[in-house]
Structure 1
């Protein structure tokens, strides 16, 4: 064997040993490379998944925003503010009911105060149905007589809005005291016979029983509706969400207590009188 052949054999043997020694490291390198690619793929998938989720969220948000922009803007209703409490009352009131009701017009607002400290209990707005062309208010009557005529002949609403948290029972006690005083006054005036006085006791008890011993939150309106007179049935006094009671006397006198003398709320009576002088 020539020296050239001997060198070739030695080089071949050396290369085989070098290859065998480096095989594990190459395998490890390939494994690391594969893991690296796998991690990169997973990271890429996570990124695009997140990106798609964000895009979907932005698309949804954009859609909602566009829908909100496309929605019609509600018409702002005209209101009147009680200067003593800053409580607002809509100048027109439409009450949803299974039986169609008229649109009521605000005639005046005022505050109800109690005790010598002048604690403000609630603001009250007086509404009446003034849209009927048959409403024939006597032209030569005094403002007080015109108010009484409207109360006795048209549907009316008293909206009561507490200035502070109170209770239904507290309002009920005030209503009942006012009605008992009204009952005594009507008896003295000869406007209430003994039989009529006996007949109104049951409606009075029913009205008293309708008010629960639960709180009434500040600025939560309580609407008290009196239906228009009807030849078919007595007038109905309806306390929103609480119940109703039928009685011609109770329906009209409940409202008139707010206008007798100075009234339960002198500012309310003054406000309504001014409206009558201006519009009726």
Structure 2
């Protein structure tokens, strides 16, 4: 038995060498086969496996017997590992698809406007027209909307009940128009005598000092507007207003930030101002100067594009405040051995002011097309005003009411900076609209009150 065994080992030795996974070398038997009659290309038939289409999970492993010798343990192990890796990739991608599908469904259900669907169903059952977007765009607060002129000189006016309201297009059909001018109750003037501080306002109505209405309200002019979106979902339209009598002061601050001696800006200086207002650091400097107290009165007007609540709005404001706090802390130098320095926003009084702001937005709904106004007076005091959605005839269900007030001027300042300055603003579209409006202000001589900005 020994002699046949040694003879068998000698016979298998060349073949075992060929089964190794090292770079293939021609075996003596293979060389002899190459010289056979099948070595001619015209007579040899080559059978190859069909090419597999590549996908994002890779090509499926080929487990045909022609690829691996059943006696090669290492090759079989590598083939099994390749097959396992392929199926693991398929499992991962399938899991990712499942999670994304569930997340998209949850987002869809969260943002589903059930009230609009219910109203549409009622109209369908009543036989009314379902598509009312064109009708909604043709009316503003119950007044018919008319377009006068075309191009850059186009004007949009809502007319009705003996009143004309000039409008600006917002870019969304949910809230198609914003008024160019709004009227807000004036806050007490701290420079006035103490006996007058209890009055709603110290200026007479409908006078050059207060070009408002008979209710002794002050006129504010739109600077710019934009849409705030979360991911791809529109949340609300927001516009910045400045008190009309403070436009001159705003012009001076904007122009002097580029050229301290100029009364208006030339085209090259306007481009320089635009770059500064879009730069994270320089914009913070310019707007911090504009928002100094005592100073000018400004306001933000928000109108939700879908039904929401005060809790969501509150979270957005608080997140903006926290982002600006983090930026202010990052600008302070680190002291050796002392760690980061404290900012003016790390005090206990500021924390109490934030809690006051949160308490204003406790509970309550903010339906589509309702109005929320954040007004900042010359002292930096923040007033939060709210007006419910108007009915189909354009009449407001309630007059605008004051929800609350925050005395600490740092709260309003950080909310304003959250929209206007920094590396990441709450609404890039609103920031761009305000920047374009500021360029329009700076292009006119100081002292010329121009309400048609956009």
TM range (shorter): 0.5 to 0.7
Identify the residue that residue 177 of structure 1 maps to in structure 2. 319
Identify the residue that residue 150 of structure 1 maps to in structure 2. 290
Aligned length: 202
Whether contact under 8 Å (1:84, 1:110) holds in the other structure is no
The Cα of 1:196 is off from its aligned counterpart by: 4.5
After alignment, is 95-104 or 118-127 more displaced? 95-104
Identify the residue that residue 212 of structure 1 maps to in structure 2. 362
Q: Alpha carbons of 1:74 and 1:247: their partners in 2 closer, same or farther (altered >3 Å)?
A: same
- Give the one of 356, 370, 373 matched to 1:223: 373
Given the two structures, how large is their TM-score scaled by the length of structure 2? 0.42
- Give the one of 411, 415, 419 matched to 1:258: 419
Whether contact under 8 Å (1:168, 1:212) holds in the other structure is yes
Map residues 19-34 of structure 1 onto 2, 5 A cutoff: none
Whether contact under 8 Å (2:185, 2:218) holds in the other structure is no
The Cα of 1:197 is off from its aligned counterpart by: 1.7
Secondary structure, in 3 states, of the residue corresponding to 2:373?
strand
* Pairing 1:126–2:237 present: no
Whether contact under 8 Å (1:82, 1:110) holds in the other structure is yes
Secondary structure, in 3 states, of the residue corresponding to 1:206?
helix
Identify the residue that residue 329 of structure 2 maps to in structure 1. 187
The Cα of 1:75 is off from its aligned counterpart by: 2.0
Q: Measure the CA separation in 2 of the matches of 1:128 and 1:168.
A: 24
Secondary structure, in 3 states, of the residue corresponding to 2:438?
helix
Q: Alpha carbons of 1:148 and 1:196: their partners in 2 closer, same or farther (altered >3 Å)?
A: closer
The Cα of 1:256 is off from its aligned counterpart by: 1.1
Bigger-Rg structure (1/2): 1
Structure 2 gap segments, 5+ residues each: 1-159, 187-199, 203-216, 259-272, 278-282, 334-340, 386-401, 443-454
Identify the residue that residue 96 of structure 2 maps to in structure 1. none
Identify the residue that residue 230 of structure 2 maps to in structure 1. 114
The Cα of 1:255 is off from its aligned counterpart by: 0.9
Deviations 1:149-198 (A, max 9, x none): 43443211111100011001111111111111111111112398446421
Identify the residue that residue 6 of structure 1 maps to in structure 2. none
CA RMSD of aligned residues (A): 2.3
The Cα of 1:147 is off from its aligned counterpart by: 4.7
Q: Alpha carbons of 1:73 and 1:166: their partners in 2 closer, same or farther (altered >3 Å)?
A: closer
Q: Measure the CA separation in 2 of the matches of 1:189 and 1:111.
A: 29
Higher relative contact order (CA 8 A, sep 6+): 1
Whether contact under 8 Å (1:210, 1:242) holds in the other structure is yes
Identify the residue that residue 201 of structure 2 maps to in structure 1. 99
Q: Measure the CA separation in 2 of the matches of 1:131 and 1:195.
A: 31
Map residues 231-242 of structure 1 onto 2, 5 A cutoff: 235-240=380-385, 241-242=402-403
Identify the residue that residue 164 of structure 1 maps to in structure 2. 306
The Cα of 1:104 is off from its aligned counterpart by: 1.2
Q: Measure the CA separation in 2 of the matches of 1:73 and 1:104.
A: 22
Identify the residue that residue 167 of structure 2 maps to in structure 1. 79
Whether contact under 8 Å (2:235, 2:306) holds in the other structure is yes
The Cα of 1:249 is off from its aligned counterpart by: 1.3
Given the two structures, how large is their TM-score scaled by the length of structure 1? 0.66
Whether contact under 8 Å (2:328, 2:343) holds in the other structure is no
* Structure with the largest fraction of helix: 1
Q: Measure the CA separation in 1 of the matches of 2:181 and 2:310.
A: 26
* Pairing 1:244–2:405 present: yes
